Homo-oligomer: A and B are copies of this chain.
Amino acid sequence: MSVAGVGEFGLIDRVTARLSYGPKVLLGPGDDAAVVAAPDARVVASTDVLVEGRHFRRDWSGAYDIGRRAAAANLADVVAMGADPTALLVALCVPAGLSAGWVEELADGIGAEASGVGASVVGGDMSASPTLTIAVTALGDLAGRTPVSRAGARPGDLIALAGRTGYAAAGFTVLSRGFRTPRLLVEAYRRPEVPYPAGPLAARLGATAMIDVSDGLLADLGHVATASGVAIDVERDAFDVPPQMRDAAQALGVDPYAWLLTGGDDHALAAAFPPATVLPDGWGVIGRVTEGAGVTVDGAPFDGPAGWDHFR
């Protein structure tokens, strides 16, 4: 049945019946607003919007995976501040002819990604729209930690990465050219594997700056460099090109380092740490902070494509 057939309130009932609520949810969906525990007396909040045709395609990804990715994009922003995600709110705009089952699968994906990191979907809104649009807001609790902004990197700091980069971009390129394999890359595009625990862990270890890699590693390190008033140099040899990516790059005539260094959507975390920091498992050094401005690769500007601008 279509969403128009089920109706707004019917669809909201169907979706909320599929969700589960953790102990931080003091009042869940169904009222004017939700009430979420914020034991730290501060709340971390971030919003991201996904638009069909621009951030996802229904012929490339199923509803469940689109839901997981919509949630992941926001949850990654919260852990990139060093916070523990607590709640999501979802504004969903759907064509009236879309099936209610598609929306239920989307909700399942959002709910699964949230509950995997201890967060719950606590509220939202739905409307018909010609353009399928998913706007998610994530909330988080700092548990006493200092929020890790983009602005604290200092010359001498290590630059380290948790999670992978370039896989989703490679999967996107593969799908754009009409292929459905290699599976490793296509699945990475469909469902990012965000290194959630690495964010709060970095905050506890004294990370001086941190960012969710969503515009591409060099572009996002550029945001850190600008906010911190420093330069960042990345070592190309710190990145492995996995065989599937190497083969796909060769077949498609692409430089795999363009994927690794400028591809977004894997939602890795990049952070600066004081030089004496012993990094835990999951974090690997990829560069250094120096005095100056801008981002370089092995001391020189990278001549690949720049990051993503959502209006161009």
Contacts and interface: CB of A to CB of B under 8 A. Distances in A.
A149 B6 CA distance: 26
Interface in A126-142: 126-131, 133, 135, 137-140, 142
Interface string A76-93: 111011010001011111
A3 B310 CA distance: 10
Nearest to A136: B91
Contact of A129 (B38, B39, B40, B133): B133
A161 B127 CA distance: 27
A122 B81 CA distance: 15
A46 B34 contact: yes
B129 A51 contact: yes
Contacts of A124: 47
Contacts of A55: 127
B26 A91 contact: no
Contact of A46 (B42, B76, B89): B89
A11 interface: yes
A304 interface: no
A54 B81 CA distance: 36
Interface in A24-53: 26-27, 30-51
Contacts of A6: 311
B91 A135 contact: yes
A229 to B, nearest CB: 14
B33 A78 contact: yes
Contacts of A93: 49, 51, 131, 133
A264 interface: no
What 7 pairs between A and B have smallest CB-CB spacing?
A33-B46, A135-B135, A38-B38, A91-B135, A49-B91, A131-B131, A32-B80
Interface of A: 3-4, 6-9, 11, 26-27, 30-51, 54-55, 76-78, 80-81, 83, 87, 89-93, 96, 122-131, 133, 135, 137-140, 142, 147, 149-151, 210-212, 227, 309-312
Given A32-B211, A33-B80, 15 more contacts: A3-B311, A7-B311, A33-B46, A34-B45, A35-B42, A37-B41, A40-B41, A45-B89, A47-B89, A47-B90, A54-B129, A55-B127, A130-B131, A133-B133, A135-B135
